[in-house]
Amino acid sequence: MLAYAARRLLVSLALVWVVATLVFMVIHIIPGDPAELLLAQGGVAPDPWLVTDLREKLGLDQPLMTQYWTYLGGLAQGNFGYSLLDDHSVADEIALRLPRTLELVGAAALIALLFGLPLGVLAALRAGEALDRLLSSLAALALSVPVFVVGTLIILVLAQNLRLVPAGGYIAFATDPLRHLGLLLMPAITIAVGLGAVVLRVTRGSVLEVLERDHVRAAQARGVSVAAIIRRHVVRNALTPVVTVVALHLGALLGGTVLVEFVFNWPGVSGYLVRSVESRDYPEVMGIVLVISSIFVLLNFLVDLLYAVIDPRVRHG
């Protein structure tokens, strides 16, 4: 088991290195010069020697390989570097913003499960009936509407017309817990709409499948109450695929909340990534992508280990 874990760990580290290298290559290959952009704010023409000076100052005049080794060397010491824009530490910024995105994604998952699970079970129990068809149509609709449409509609209705919540923004939980949660609500709901639909559909399918199993029939034959059957025998068994699907989506959401963060002014890590790409802030882009992909790799590593624990055949395979 230990040898297996070590092997997987090595593979994971290699993966992180590959990602770091790929990101470094890609960001340097795409056109656009951070020094030029930095000096050309607001449509003005910077002097070329000003650009040259700045490139020198930022170390961008070094050969690419030199920059690459400097970068890898920094990474090995846990140093993500500093923003080209204002010398701000990239690690600090990620440490500040990643929890906000995690919180947003977590809140969205909670809302999605809260609604998706019971409605999915309900749809399965009423399979083929009008209620099932209605819920399935709603889920299909929720899945096909893009998040920025949902987001904009929610802002229009909740913030602008009903004035129930502020139109967006962020306040630290420590500063004002109530306002923090109020501001979290709209973006979380926006992500939860699509995610909840996925949960509903997966739950429905899974429950339908479990309902056909022998142990459920046996329980029915024993005269166990319907509520108890659903709770104890159906839902519990039907949850496995739901958890898998939700976990997969959450991973994707880590870097995929860009639009929601933008629409609601939520200062998370996704919006930060987009801004960094736009200004070609190399250290920022590389740092964020590396952290997000490392989380992915780590999750995969854990899943691999978990499989090995569950199924010993994997260890020797």
Partner 1 sequence: MTISATRRAVLAGAASLPFLRIPGARAATPGVLTFGLSSYPPTLQPWANGGTASATIKLMIFRGLISYAPDGSLRPELAESWTLENPTTWLFKLRNATFQNGEKVTSADVKWSLEQIAAERSTAFFRAQIQGLERIETPDDMTVRIVTKEPVATLPIWMASYHMPIISRNSPRGQFIGAGPFVLKAQERGVSLDLEAYPGYYKPGLPKLKGIKVVAYGDENLRVAALHSGDVDLIEYVPWQSMDAITANSALKLDAVDGAFMFLVFNGTRPPFNDARVRKAVAHAIKREDLVKAAFFGRGSPLTQLPIPPSSPFYNAEYKDGWNYNPDLSKRLLAEAGFANGLNASMLSTAQYGMHKDTAEVVQQHLAAVGINVELNMPDWATRVAIGNRGQYDIAVMGTAADSNDPEGLASLLDGTLSPSYVRSYGLKVDRITELLAAGRAEFDETRRKAIYREIEGVAIEQAPLVGLTWRSQGYAMRSAVSGFKNMPGALTFYSGLTFETTEVA
| Candidates 5-13, 43-51, 283-291, 304-312; binding stretch for partner 1 (CB under 8 A) | 43-51
Angle at 75 between CA 70 and CA 80, to 5 degrees: 95
Handedness of CA 99, 100, 104, 107 (dihedral sign): positive
CA distance 265 to 170: 7
Question: Residue 82: beta bridge partners?
Answer: 89
Compare residues 53 and 132 and give the one whose CB is closer to partner 1: 53
Compare residues 207 and 266 and give the one whose CB is closer to partner 1: 266
Residue ranges in 70-89 that form contacts with partner 1 under rule CB under 8 A: 85-86, 88
The answer to whether residue 267 forms part of the interface with partner 1 (CB under 8 A) is yes
The tokens for 264 are 């609601």
User: Which of 8, 53, 294, 295 forms a contact with partner 1 (CB under 8 A)?
Assistant: 53
The tokens for 129 are 């009936």
The answer to whether residue 174 forms part of the interface with partner 1 (CB under 8 A) is no
The answer to whether residue 47 forms part of the interface with partner 1 (CB under 8 A) is yes
Compare residues 85 and 127 and give the one whose CB is closer to partner 1: 85
CA distance 162 to 68: 53
30 exposed, middle or buried (CB, 10 Å; 0-12, 13-18, 19+)?
Answer: exposed
The tokens for 243 are 């958890």
| Binding positions for partner 1, rule: CB under 8 A | 30-33, 36-48, 50, 53-54, 57, 85-86, 88, 93, 96-97, 152, 155-156, 159-160, 162-171, 176, 178-179, 181-183, 185, 262-265, 267, 271-272, 275, 278-280
